[in-house]
Amino acid sequence: MPESLGKTLKKIRKSKGFSLEEASEKTRIPKNTLSIIEEDRLNEIESLFYARGFVKSYAQFLGAMEDNVVKRYLSGAPKKD
List, for residues 15-67, the tens digit of each pLDDT value: 999 999 999 999 999 999 999 999 999 999 988 889 999 999 999 999 999 99
Amino acid letter, 80: K
At 18, give phi and psi (nearest 5°).
-95, 135
Tell me, what's the pLDDT at 77?
Answer: 52
Those residues whose C-beta lies under 8 Å from the C-beta of residue 77, and which sit 6 or more positions away, are: none
Q: What angle do CA 32, 59, 22 make, to 5 degrees?
A: 50
Nearest to 42 by CA among 60, 21, 58, 61: 58
pTM over 0.75: yes
Question: Domains of the chain (ranges plus CATH)?
Answer: 5-75 (1.10.260.40)
